[in-house]
Structures are given as structure tokens and as C-alpha cells.
Amino acid sequence: MSHGIYRCPRPINEPIRNYEPGSEDRRLLEEALNELRNEVKEIPLIIGGEKIKTDSKKPCIVPHDHQQVIGYYYEASEKEVQMAIDSALQAKAEWEAMPYKHRAAVFLKAADLLASKWRYKMNAATMLAQSKNVYQAEIDTVCELIDFYRFNAYYLEQIYEEQAISPAGVWNRMEYTALDGFVYAVSPFNFTSIGGNLAGAPALVGNGVVWKPASTAVYSNYMIMEILEEAGLPKGVINFVPGNAKTITDIVLAHPEFAGFHYTGSTSVFSSIWKEIGNNIQKYKAYPRIVGETGGKNFIFADESCDQQALAVAMVRGAYEYQGQKCSAASRVYVPSTIWENVKTKSFEMMETIKMGGVEDFKNFVNAVIDEKAFTKITSYIDYAKSSPDAEVIFGGGYDQSKGYFIEPTMILSKTTSFKTMVEEIFGPVLTVYVYDPKDFDATLEACINGTEYALTGAIFAQDRLTIQKLENALKHSAGNLYINDKPTGAVVGQQPFGGSKASGTNDKAGSKLNLFRWINTRAIKENFNPPHQYEYPFMS
């Protein structure tokens, strides 16, 4: 065996492409969209590298054109879940023992494949299956996933370099291994990259993984498996098992070798799984690591001194990009009455120009929400506001699901800070504004801090430095990602590690060293070059 100390390439963020009309990128992307729209893909499970079809088959539909089926995926039954666990445990032995440079190389190669050959197809898949416009798809499924894979490889090397001190005569070593068991990854629909990272991060450090994607994102998530396979990921390291969430989860959580849960999704599901893990605790060989990034009710708090145009842009982009289906989306805004009329005019001027429709028409800023369930939930909040004496729908409020699940960007004006849409996560294109008297600054800030159970993202808009300092300090535990004079969305790997606390999750910061540590077992080894030869200590003489 040959040796050397190798350095992982130092990552930079993947540049975002524009796809402007007439560009080669646009041409290739449109080709990919056409290709995918005109075929019906069969999406099997992948267990131990084998492609498996079962008796249960579900369609992958286009949310902005719900009569269009672009594929069918197969659902795992109990038998396949057991197979996936066995396969993850079996593959782990060799994978964990593999020198780090080889494990890292798989993910670095996957990132390169995504940046080149797969770029257009991955974007097209996310655009069609999850109704994301090209920009939203590019920053997610291509750039963020590339960043996750390149930065994680680099961070892991830094972890391995963290070593204990060794006084004379002793060599202390910190050894980093995978967890003792397998990791279960459960991903949401709204970011393709999150699925790739939830499965990829534990795998990179040497774990075997069972990955259950969201049913509405199976189409694009399967492509990640194809890319990883092409990049040389050994069979069985990640096992892809779409299907009924409860059935799969119950089997996984009952397994004695269940060692870690890597989750992103709603708060209620995370809480119920945490409880089940607690109930099963006697069954496990070791205490499982639990990492969950969950819901948000993200705020913008504006001060009179703020740049009002910048605030209006942050409201529009922050609340309506990807139809508000970002965990970080702005969904409640506190604006002083002295500037509200101007901010309202500016944001309405922008909102009047927003076009809504399918992703194939590149002029559309807003597309469809993910499915009928989301459509029903979001529109029920709009209807509630329409009929309430405590609020008024001041922009949008219309919706139509005859062709696709379309909901207009909607703005609600609330008379109270505790109105339902100021408090609950809606996860749709709905922004609620509370207008406050500047005399009530402190009470309004208090309502912003304590008004919801979440603490994911938030933004402060102010020019006055004393106010910025005051808000930053007061909102310390209100957002894991705080923005000053910027929208609360759009975290970039390596720049703003992402995650929140309270009901927003365990705040283990996806795409950072902190997250990778959760999938690692450490061993401290002391080697004594000069062991004592008598048991007595000097004080005894």
C-alpha cells in the first residue's frame, strides 16, 4: 500500500448560470425539458445496486399541468425495507474501511458530473416534477448540491486533521469512524439538493444509508442516485426506497442497528419520529443520532430608517419565490406605519408584474404549488383571512387548480400580531403584514420574538446602526439564519450554514462541519512510548 498526505481541492461555490434567451445553456436546457416531457420514466427502488420493481406503482405528475404523467415510481414494501437495511449494513464494512480520498473522490466526481453532463437533465427534472422555474432549479438541484458535495469533502478533511495534543513520550490520536449501525435519511420535496445531502453527508463519512425521498420528489431524486452510481459509489452504500412513509419508518426505527436519523421536513413529523425513537430506545445497540431541520415562520422586521425599496424587494422575493415553498420563505413582516404606504405601493407595483404559469415559459416568476394537498391547505388559510374581521387580503388571494395547482402571490394585512397567518407555517405564496406604530417598537419586537414556536430565518431592515445592533441582539434566539438588509432566503453552502432551533430543528447546520460531526463516531487512542515500571507515586516516599 502506498501512502501520502493528500489535500482535497479547496472548494468555491458553483457559479449560477443565467439561461438567458439565445444562450447555449438555454438551448440545452430546453432540449432536456422536451426530452423528459415526452417520455414516461420507470423509477425502481435501488437496493444493493439492484433496480427493483414492486407491486405498488405511483405516478409522478407535473404540478403545473397535473394531467401530465412523466413517470411512475415503485413503492417499497416491508420486504424491500429489510433488504435495504441489510444492504446498507453489508456495504458499510468495506466502504468505511476505504481510504478517505477514495470516498471523497466519489462525491467530488458526482459534483463534476452535475456541473457538466447532468446539469440540464437535473434542472429539467426538478423544473417539471417540482414546478420550479429555471433559476430556482439551478440554485437548488445543481449549485447547492454541487456545493454540498465539494464542501463536505473539504470539511471532512478538516475534521480528520483535528488531533489531540501529545506530551513527550506519548502519541495521542483522534480516530474518526462511521456510526455503529446504519443511517436513515428522510427528505422533503422542496429542495432536490437536500435529499442528495441528507443521504450523501452520512455516506461520505463512511456510513451505509437507507434513503426515503418525498413522494413528490422521487423523479428528480432518482437522478441523484444515477449520478452517484456513475461517480462510482459502491453498491449498497445508499439504498433508495420510496414508498409509504409510515410503513418504511416503523420498520427502520424498530431495527437494533438503527444509528442515525437525518431528516428535513415538517416539525410535526419530526416530533412524532423523535417520540418513536424514544419509545424504542431499549432496542438499539447505541443511542441514535437525531438531526432534523424542520419548519419555519420567518420574519422580516423593518425599522423606519430602512431602505424602503430594498425592503419591498425582499418581501416579494423572500415570500413568493418558489411559491413560498422554502423553509426560509418570508411569511410575516412587521412594518412601521410611517413607511407602510410607500412600501405597499412599491411591493404592489412589483407584484402586478409577476407572471404565473408553467416552468416552460421562462417569463413566469411563480409556478404551481407541489400538489393538491398543499393547494387545499394553503388556500384554506387564504379563505380564513378573507372571512376574518381581523385581517384583509390586500393583494392576490385568487387560486385555480383546473390545470395546475396555481395560487396567486397573496398579501394579507393583519390587525393583530397573533392572527393565524402571522403564527402558523403556511408553506405557500402568502405573506402577512403587521403595521405597527413606531411608538410600539419594543412591544412589536417582543411579538416578533415570542409570536411563533419557530426560529429558522429572519431579516432585519434598518440603516440606523443602533437599531441594527438592538435587533440583532434581541433576535438572538429567533433565527438560526439572520439577515441584515437582505431577504431571509437563499443561504449558500460555505457562506451561511443553514438551520434553526426551537421548533425549526436541531440546528446542526446542513453543509457544514457541525453536521458531519453528527455522523461520526470518535475514538481517542493514547499510545505510551515510555510506560511506568513501578506503581508508586513520588508523594508516597
Q: Given the rule CB under 6 A, which residues bind ligand NAD?
A: 186-191, 194, 212, 214, 245-246, 249, 264-266, 269, 272-273, 293-296, 327, 425, 427, 456, 498-499, 504-505
Active-site residue among 14, 75, 80, 293? 293
Nine-digit cell at 358? 408553467
Q: Is 327 an active-site residue?
A: yes
**Distance of closest approach, residue 80 Cβ to ligand NAD, in angstroms:** 16
Contacts of 360 (CB under 8 A, 6+ apart): 33
Q: Which residues pair with 184 in a beta bridge?
A: 210, 261
C-beta of 323 vs 504, nearer to ligand NAD: 504
**Distance of closest approach, residue 228 Cβ to ligand NAD, in angstroms:** 19
How many Å apart are CA 179 and CA 289, to the nearest integer? 9
What is the amino acid identity at position 242?
Answer: P
Q: Is the dihedral of CA 281, 282, 287, 289 positive or negative?
A: negative
- Contact 410/354 with Cβ under 8 angstroms? no
C-beta of 245 vs 514, nearer to ligand NAD: 245
- Contact 292/264 with Cβ under 8 angstroms? yes
**Distance of closest approach, residue 327 Cβ to ligand NAD, in angstroms:** 3
How many Å apart are CA 309 and CA 312, to the nearest integer? 5
In this structure, what are the phi and psi dihedrals at residue 13, rounded to the nearest 5 degrees? -65, 140
Q: Is 8 an active-site residue?
A: no
C-beta of 8 vs 186, nearer to ligand NAD: 186
C-beta of 151 vs 176, nearer to ligand NAD: 151
Strands 57-62 and 182-186: unpaired
Contacts of 460 (CB under 8 A, 6+ apart): 300, 301, 303, 468, 471, 472, 475, 482, 483, 484, 485
**Distance of closest approach, residue 496 Cβ to ligand NAD, in angstroms:** 12
C-beta of 191 vs 441, nearer to ligand NAD: 191
**Distance of closest approach, residue 188 Cβ to ligand NAD, in angstroms:** 3
**Distance of closest approach, residue 316 Cβ to ligand NAD, in angstroms:** 20
Nine-digit cell at 91? 456495504
For every residue of 107-171, DSSP letters joined together read HHHHHHHHHTTTHHHHHHHHHHHH---HHHHIIIIIIIHHHHHHHHHHHHHHHHH------TTEE
Query: Of 57, 30, 32, nearest to 43 (Cα)?
Result: 57
Active-site residue among 60, 306, 327, 448? 327
Kindly give the residue spans of alpha helices, DSSP state H, lying in 182-232: 192-204, 218-230
C-beta of 208 vs 511, nearer to ligand NAD: 511
C-beta of 294 vs 478, nearer to ligand NAD: 294
Interior/surface letters 379-401, b for 16+ CB within 10 angstroms, e for the rest:
bebbeebeebeebebebbbebeb
- Tell me the residue nearest to ligand NAD as measured from the CB: 265
Nine-digit cell at 385? 383571512
Residues catalogued as catalytic: 293, 327
